[in-house]
Chains A and B, each alone.
Chain A
C-alpha cells in the first residue's frame, strides 16, 4: 500500500529518462536503466527485480516488451456514446466477452438501441440463445435485469446533453445510470474519451496491485474505488506508463497466470 511520504526531501527512484523500446538495443539492456530493486518507486513500494513476476520493475519491463508505443490506444466498442454505454452495460462482471459482444450486436442489428424500444423487445432479443462460430449455443445470463438497465437507460431525458467535454464529469454522469458502478463508468469513460484519468479496477488489476503493494490486501473496492484509483494512477505516473495501456497489459498477463497469481497472493512472499 502506498504510504505517506515522511519527508518532502525524500526522492524516489525513477528511470533516468523516458525509456522506450527504440532507445535500448535489446530488452536485456533495460536492466542497466532500471533502478536498484531495493529503491522505492513510491513511498513503501520498491521497484523489485524485473525478473520477478508482478513487481513494479516487472510491469515496466512487460510494458516496454509489449511493443505498444507510449501513446493512447483506441478502445471504443461502437460508434455512438449511447451504444457504448449499452455495450458496457451488457458486459462486466462474470460475463464472457463473446456473449456480451454478441448481445450488444444483436440489439444493434435489430435496431433496438433506441429510446422508443419497448422493454419486451429488448428482453426478447436478449433471452434468445446465441450461436457461435464453433456451433455452440449459449444463453445470455441475467437477461431480465440487463434488459431493465438498457431500457431504463434509453428512457432518460438527458441523452442529448451528456457532459462529454470533461472525462470526470462524464464519469459522474455515467454513475447516475441504473446498473452502472464505478468500474463500468470508468470503462465507458476510458473507451469513449480515451481518458487516462480513470482506472478500470477489475479483479485482475486489483490482484496485481495487491502483489505490487499498490493496494492493501483487505481493501474494499466497493467503498474505496476512487482511493484505489488514485493509487493506481500514481503508480502508472511513477512508472512513466499510460494507465490505459498498462491495465490492458496487467489484465492480459494476470488472466494468463491466474493460478500462479492466486498462489502468490496466498503465500507469505506476496507482498
Chain B
C-alpha cells in the first residue's frame, strides 16, 4: 500500500488501446440454466448495464449468462463508456467454470 496517499499524483496514463484490448476471464455469477447450454466457441454479447457495470454476457437468445469479475473489467468499462464494443467467445468449460475471451469488434 502506498503510504503517500495524501500526496497528489499525476493523472494515470490514458494510453490504453481499446481496439487491442483482450481479456481472458471467467464468468462470474453464472446463471446455471443459461451457461449449461453454452459450448466452446459460442459468441456472447458484452453489455454494460450502467456506466459503472456490471458487464454482462448475453447469449444470442438474449439470455444473461453471467457477469464479469470486477477486478478485470476496469479498463473494459472505461473503453465501453467511450463507445467501444466487444464480444466474448467461450474458450473453455471446465466443471462449473466458464472461461471466455473478450475482444474488440
Residue ranges of A at the interface with B (Cβ–Cβ < 8 Å): 27-28, 31, 49-54, 58, 61-62, 65, 68, 73-77, 88, 91-97, 100-101, 183-184, 187, 191, 200, 202, 211, 245, 247-249, 251-253, 255-260, 263-264, 267, 269-270
Contacts and interface: CB of A to CB of B under 8 A. Distances in A.
B2 interface: yes
B71 to A, nearest CB: 5
Interface residues of B, number: 33
Given A91-B4, A257-B78, A97 B9 contact: yes
Contact of B78 (A27, A259, A267): A259
Given A51-B68, A259-B78, A77 B1 contact: no
B70 interface: yes
A52 B73 CA distance: 10
**Which of A97, A258, A267 has most chain B Cβ within 10 Å?**
A97
Contacts of A96: 7-10
Contacts of A252: 1-2, 5
24 contacts: A28-B28, A49-B54, A51-B28, A51-B29, A51-B70, A51-B73, A52-B50, A52-B52, A52-B70, A54-B52, A61-B70, A61-B71, A93-B8, A95-B8, A96-B9, A96-B10, A97-B4, A187-B5, A202-B6, A248-B5, A259-B14, A260-B52, A263-B51, A267-B51
Contacts of A258: 11-12
B24 interface: no
Contact of B12 (A27, A183, A255): A255
A84 to B, nearest CB: 11
Interface in B53-91: 53-55, 67-71, 73-74, 77-78, 81
B7 A100 contact: yes
Contacts, number: 117
A216 to B, nearest CB: 19
B15 interface: no
Top 6 closest pairs, chain A to chain B, by CB: A97-B7, A51-B54, A53-B52, A51-B67, A248-B1, A91-B7
A76 B3 contact: yes
A41 B54 CA distance: 19
| Chain B CB within 10 A, most for which of A54, A76, A255 | A255
B49 interface: yes
A93 B7 CA distance: 7
Nearest to A31: B29
A101 B7 contact: yes
A88 B6 CA distance: 8
A68 B2 CA distance: 12
A144 to B, nearest CB: 20
Contacts of B29: 31, 51
B8 to A, nearest CB: 6
B4 A28 contact: no
Given A53-B52, A260-B77, A65 B9 contact: no
Counting chain A CB atoms within 10 Å of each CB, the highest count among B7, B12, B51, B55 belongs to B7
